[in-house]
Structure 1
Amino acid sequence: MGLFGSVSGKQVDEFAKGLAQEIAKRYPPTMDKGSGERKISQKRLTNILEEAFNKAADFRRQHKLGVYKKARLGNTFRWELSELGYSDKFVETATEGLVVYVSRK
């Protein structure tokens, strides 16, 4: 695996933003802030995040992401979650999980 991988930076950005949007559909930012009507269990939230992380790991395997593209994926994902209105704690936790999943061999 090289440093740059076989996919463009724009494609990585689009994938990361789509991943964040997918999480937002299933776990809206209002639920993260506690202002939503419904509460979600920790187990359900864990399942939502793990499904997203597994998609990211599959994307990494398909496109052979290099070091820089993995970093770009994590950063774009982080900024998209922040822009969607998630708490800093959630953004940090979700981004850390994504980076761990994508970095595994």
Structure 2
Amino acid sequence: MFGDWFNTEEVDEVADAIVADLVKRLPPSPGPHTRKTADRLRKTHDVIFARLEQFVRSRKLNIYKMARLANRVRWALRDAGYATEFTDALSYELATVAKLASRQASRPPA
């Protein structure tokens, strides 16, 4: 009946790739952030969201899969040592971008 509804294998792979990319490009640092760190974060942010948009547009994600993606990224980043505020904000943004990209993908071209 539910078929592919709870199959999150692809979502988990994308979430793991996002976390690995973020950890590689911008490792968690306990000290204050510099302008260079902010620039790297902005570039990394753009790459991550472009990858997510491409993934969501090529597949139909239901609400469970979107939540799974955001939650998996959140907890993996916390385990990697990122601040709670950062992980919460990023996971919220990921869920929002996934929902918006999903809506755009389901609309017929005008």
Bin for the TM-score computed over the shorter chain: 0.7 to 0.9
Q: Given that residues 16 and 76 in structure 1 are in contact (C-alpha distance below 8 angstroms), is that contact kept between their aligned partners in structure 2?
A: yes
Offset at residue 47 of structure 1 (A): 2.1
Give percent identity, aligned residues only: 29
CA distance in 1, matches of 2:3, 2:21: 26
Query: Cα deviations across residues 64-83 of structure 1 (Å, max 9, x unaligned)?
Result: 11111111111111111111
- Aligned with 2:21: secondary structure? helix
Matched with 2:21 is 22
Matched with 1:93 is 89
Q: Which runs of 4+ in 1 moved over 2 A?
A: 3-8, 38-44
- Aligned with 1:86: secondary structure? coil
CA distance in 2, matches of 1:4, 1:70: 17
CA distance in 2, matches of 1:21, 1:4: 29
Count residues with an aligned counterpart.
100
2:50 alignment partner AA: N
Matched with 1:34 is 31
Structure whose CA Rg is larger? 2
2:31 alignment partner AA: G
C-alpha RMSD over aligned residues: 2.5
Higher relative contact order (CA 8 A, sep 6+): 1
Unaligned runs of 5+ in 1: none
For residues 14-93 of structure 1, what are the structure 2 equivalents within 5 Å?
14-30=13-29, 33-34=30-31, 40-93=36-89
Q: With structure 1 as the length reference, what TM-score do the two structures score? A: 0.79
1:60 alignment partner AA: V
Unaligned runs of 5+ in 2: 104-110
